């Protein structure tokens, strides 16, 4: 799956997006990077990992909701959870999600070519005309700068588990990423997988999870890994360092 349209332009925009704590979902990357935070009072065992989905009034008859629930159910099954009727469930699982559009502005250099008849090689550092770039390696630098704006879409997901009998919240995890993809449904598999990787996380965990893409741009079968930690969790999850690509 190809996220984004203009890889070359997004490489510049990516620098700004990353500063904001998000990673681009772009065709020019080899992974999807998601920010995850968790709050936990988890004490369940494999024997008690039964659940039912709880829906808000507006989610009751939503096809979109059912689609996301199926994805979450598949991921929960990898952590020994079983979906059962509400009356026999130990936990209720609630989902909330959103997508928000924004713009990121990037200042980019503009180069002036005094001799356009020679193919516009001026201003290209080393590797242009004759292997030396601009006039034997002499580069006058940019003539000026222009601001260019690019659309950025922030995708967010929250998964909340409560004890069905008491209503007590036992686990809440939030995941968000951003990029040029305007469809939440295409971003959702990465949000869900990132949110539930290494379940259960320690209380107060904040970290970044990276999910590799395969050659077609789809989600890879490789294991999702923690790429870093913004704060120290009370019970640190196992993190495998992955070099930036």
Q: What is the pLDDT of residues 64-117, one digit of tens each?
A: 999 999 999 999 999 999 999 999 999 999 999 999 988 778 888 887 666 665
Q: What is the pLDDT of residue 119?
A: 57
- Residue 1 domain-assigned (yes or no): no
Residue environment code for 76-92, b if the CB has 16+ CB neighbours within 10 A, otherwise e = beeeebeeeeeeebbbb
Q: What is the pLDDT of residues 122-142, one digit of tens each?
A: 444 444 444 444 445 555 667
- Residue 242 domain-assigned (yes or no): no
- Residue 244 domain-assigned (yes or no): no
Q: Tell me, what CATH number does 187's domain have?
A: 3.30.160.670
- The gap from C-alpha 29 to its chain's centroid, in whole angstroms, comes to 12
Q: In the predicted model, what is the mean pLDDT of the chain?
A: 76
- Residue 237 domain-assigned (yes or no): no
- Residue 239 domain-assigned (yes or no): no
- The domain in which residue 12 lies consists of 7-231
- Residue 53 domain-assigned (yes or no): yes
- Residue 198 domain-assigned (yes or no): yes
- Residue 2 domain-assigned (yes or no): no
Structural domains in the chain (count): 1
């Amino acid at each position: 799956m190809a996220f984004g349209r203009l890889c070359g332009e997004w490489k510049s925009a990516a620098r700004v997006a990353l500063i904001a704590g998000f990673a681009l979902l772009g065709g020019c990357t080899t992974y999807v990077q998601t920010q995850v935070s968790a709050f936990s009072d988890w004490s369940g065992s494999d024997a008690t990992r039964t659940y039912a989905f709880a829906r808000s009034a507006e989610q009751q008859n939503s096809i979109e909701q059912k689609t996301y629930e199926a994805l979450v159910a598949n991921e929960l099954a990898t952590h020994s959870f079983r979906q059962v009727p509400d009356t026999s469930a130990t936990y209720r699982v609630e989902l909330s999600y959103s997508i928000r559009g924004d713009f990121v502005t990037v200042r980019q250099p503009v180069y002036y070519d005094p001799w356009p008849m020679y193919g516009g090689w001026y201003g290209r550092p080393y590797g242009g005309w004759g292997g030396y770039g601009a006039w034997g390696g002499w580069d006058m630098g940019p003539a000026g700068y222009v601001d260019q704006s690019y659309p950025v879409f922030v995708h967010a997901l929250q998964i909340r588990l409560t004890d069905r009998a008491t209503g007590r919240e036992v686990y809440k995890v939030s995941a968000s990423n951003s990029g040029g993809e305007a469809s939440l449904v295409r971003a959702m598999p990465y949000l869900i997988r990132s949110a539930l990787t290494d379940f259960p996380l320690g209380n107060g965990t904040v970290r970044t999870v990276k999910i590799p893409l395969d050659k077609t741009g789809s989600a890879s079968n490789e294991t999702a890994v923690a790429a870093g930690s913004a704060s120290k969790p009370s019970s640190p999850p196992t993190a495998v360092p992955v070099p930036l690509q």
